Amino acid sequence: MQTSSHLTVVKLGGSIVTRKSEDYHLRPKVLDRLAREISQGWEGGKRPLVLIHGAGSFAHPLAKAWGLARPPPGRANRERGAALTAYGVRRLHMAVLRSLLDAGLPARSVPPFPALTNHEGKLVAFDVEPFQEVLLAGGVPVTFGDVVRDTSWGSSILSGDTLAVHLARDLPAPRVVFVSDVPGVLVRRPDGKREVLGELGSSMPPSLVPAPDRPDVTGGIRGKVEAMLAIAAGGSRAGLISGLSHGALSRAIRGGDVHGTWAGPLLDGDRPRVAAL
């Protein structure tokens, strides 16, 4: 498949579309606004998109409770935990699809299970063809972090961040935008104050601000940075921006200059980002 130079992968984090401190708590107004911004950036198909969303409060607590991010032996009846977690994220997935459809996007579900496979918690079999088929038909593929078959553990977590890395490489996609409830990667300065790191280097920042104490089985902000560095190493540009900043997502999809943390080669219209308070 010859991919458009405008193709963007957007990952809506669970922290922005749900309240992670409350089980099964959707943020409908935020989700609907982000869906409208995605539609605006899509520009009637001129800028093709692949969307990923996290699980947030619909599945992270379940995945943690049943030990699905760890090798067995976890809790007994691991497959029941996998089924409950998969059901939870699909509840959220239906809400995300509805919001995207209401915003005018031809959103088509591309679920990871049963197509994708892990081994010891790591993705080992990724099929990009379903995403390509939806894109070629003019649609918008929508996928999500899920519980998938694991050839060693039975079942394990496949995070949306991991999906973003593989989609950026295999489609390929020049730009990946992670949307969160923070303005970027926050680091501490020598004086103790926090600032947004404008541009990542080639390795993990040593002074990442610890994530708040809330259930996250997919790595939190450190997992985002690892994904961004992997995407950058593959030759694509990755950014972490706030979904609470109105209009930022649509600008990022169009390739505009958006406040946040970025990594990878500059694309047309990009400028290096600098740290900001």
Residues 115-132 pLDDT 10s: 999 999 999 999 999 999
- Is the pLDDT assigned to residue 276 strictly greater than 80? no
Spell 198-229 as b/e; 16+ CB within 10 A means b. Answer: bebeeeebeebeebeeebbbbbbbebbbebbb
Which domains are seen in the chain, by residue range? 8-263 (3.40.1160.10)
Calpha distance 47→6 (Å, rounded): 5
Residues 152-199 pLDDT 10s: 999 999 999 999 999 999 999 999 999 999 999 988 878 878 889 989
pTM, 2 dp: 0.89
Token pair 């099964």 in the structure block, residue: 24
| Secondary structure letter of residue 10 according to DSSP | E
Three-class secondary structure assignment of 105-147 = CCEEECCCCCCCEEECCEEEECCCHHHHHHHHCCCEEEEECEE
Calculate mean pLDDT across residues 137-153.
96
Calpha distance 41→255 (Å, rounded): 9
| Secondary structure letter of residue 150 according to DSSP | E
Quote the pLDDT of residue 63.
86
Quote the pLDDT of residue 98.
98
Both structure tokens of 112 = 């990871």
Residues 213-241 pLDDT 10s: 554 544 578 889 999 999 999 999 999 99
Residues 59-82 pLDDT 10s: 888 888 888 888 887 556 788 999
Phi, psi of 27 (to 5 degrees): -105, 80
